């Protein structure tokens, strides 16, 4: 009986340790508990394409983007995005170097009261960048959840030229994976 108690205690301790490690990773991604709560408790979730101002980008020597038309997401899509972005398993723990500098294609905005957290997606390399107001607080590789996140945004913006290009690129990439 004593051995069973020790084994049970070990299982509980290991589970708590693993859960704590995942919470640390997610909190580090979202920057703070407040950011995590904004995403989790968002009253409204919007998505919009990010368009590149090529003339301004050339002058500034960096990509300058502006938002296209935003859509309000239905409850099911909003819930899926919240759960996926707050799940540690959605992210690569030890990402390798990506082959290009990201140009973010889409933004998802989580609004709660007067607060908002924005997540910019680069689907060619499955990278995201998080913002709270004017502060950028995390960049992560979301490769494990990339196909699911892409599918939601492609369904919302089926005729977006960037999404169609990335769809072709992702299709070609999946054919070359073992």
Distances from the Cα of 58 to the Cαs of 27, 100, 122, 135, 162, in angstroms? 36, 18, 20, 24, 20
* Structural tokens at position 99: 């082959």
Overall number of domains in the chain: 1
Distances from the Cα of 163 to the Cαs of 5, 59, 122, in angstroms? 54, 26, 10
Tokens 């169609």 belong to residue? 164
Q: Domain range spanning residue 149?
A: 2-176
Please provide the average confidence, as pLDDT, over all residues in the chain: 78
Give pLDDT tens digits along the chain (178 positions). Answer: 444 333 333 332 333 333 344 444 445 456 678 888 899 999 999 999 999 888 887 877 777 888 999 999 999 999 999 999 888 888 887 766 665 667 888 999 999 999 999 999 988 888 888 888 888 877 778 888 899 999 999 999 999 998 999 898 887 666 555 4
| Beta bridge partner(s), residue 3 | none
| Beta bridge partner(s), residue 66 | 51
């Amino acid at each position: 009986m004593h051995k069973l108690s020790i084994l049970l205690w070990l299982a509980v301790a290991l589970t708590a340790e693993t859960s704590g490690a995942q919470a640390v990773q997610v909190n580090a991604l979202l920057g703070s508990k407040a950011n995590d709560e904004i995403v989790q408790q968002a009253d409204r979730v919007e998505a919009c394409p990010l368009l590149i101002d090529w003339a301004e980008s050339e002058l500034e020597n960096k990509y300058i983007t502006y938002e296209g038309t935003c859509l309000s997401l239905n409850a099911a899509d909003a819930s899926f995005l919240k759960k996926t972005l707050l799940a540690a398993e959605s992210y690569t723990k030890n990402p390798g170097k990506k082959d290009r500098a990201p140009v973010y294609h889409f933004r998802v905005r989580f609004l709660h009261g007067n607060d908002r957290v924005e997540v910019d997606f680069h689907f060619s390399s499955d990278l995201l960048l998080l913002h709270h107001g004017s502060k950028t607080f995390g960049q992560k590789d979301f490769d494990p959840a990339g196909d699911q996140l892409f599918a939601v945004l492609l369904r919302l913006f089926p005729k977006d030229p960037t999404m169609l290009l990335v769809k072709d690129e992702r299709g070609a990439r999946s054919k070359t994976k073992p």
